[in-house]
Structure 1
Amino acid sequence: MNTHGIIRALLGINGVVLTGVGAMLISDPHAMFALNGVTLSSDPNLLSELRAPGGGLALGGGFVLASAALGLWTRAASGVSALILLGWALGRLVSIAIDGMPDASLLAAFGIELVLGFASVWAMGALSESSTLEAGLKPA
């Protein structure tokens, strides 16, 4: 598999993760949070605050999935993936520093977010370099 195939596979994985989490947050935040031992109240304000970012994740994930499937906008999709996944990781890191250590499942999620996020940063660089080479230019 060549570099572009690896990147499209990475984007497919990222798109499934982002869309899946977003869809779960929109459709059933109680079930989503129960996976990590968190019980939510039925407060409409709380649920609205949880469903709203789920919409952003679902749309971002849909863009990443479409990019993987079509092979278009792969650099932009890599950037979207990197921003969202590394943003999650940063939020978890701040939470660890302020709130303490979470359960093992959330630490595993943190590790996955870091791996996929940094892989997306790599993909952006690889796509930038290959585009430059294809254009007959030297990379900076």
Structure 2
Amino acid sequence: MIRTVVCQREGCCGNKFYIETIDNNLQLTCKECETKYLFDISYYDFIMISSCSKCSNDTFKVFRDEEKEGVYAKCTECGGPPEKIYIDSDGIQVSYEIKLLHDIKELMYRVEQRVCNLELKVGDLERGQDVLEQSLAYINRYIVEER
């Protein structure tokens, strides 16, 4: 279930926040009373920037998915998401396209490793089959000679 985050401070019912990412946490600051809240977003592979990706507004409504533990924000002016910066495995800021390309390369590398492992296993099976065929040939020759 997705719920709108509302300020919990007594006497305040603000639901518009300034956002800032600090050490894998999303810090929300209530626009009405300036109360701060922290949400863990370490499971995301991006950092949310405190401006809208469409209109550069800096206040957002924030939503929390209680089942999946996700946190989402949308601009109070246009409904757009906040700008996002993606971080690659080396800790360098990259665009979404570069991050996606890196993820695809990583996936291809893993697939290549699995194919290589399968080729090795098939080679082992072929060598095992050769040994079995030779053993059967020796057994067959022994049976023929005993008669």
Higher helix share: 1
By relative contact order (CA 8 Å, sep 6+), the higher-ranking structure is: 1
Higher strand share: 2
- Answer whether TM exceeds 0.5 for this pair: no
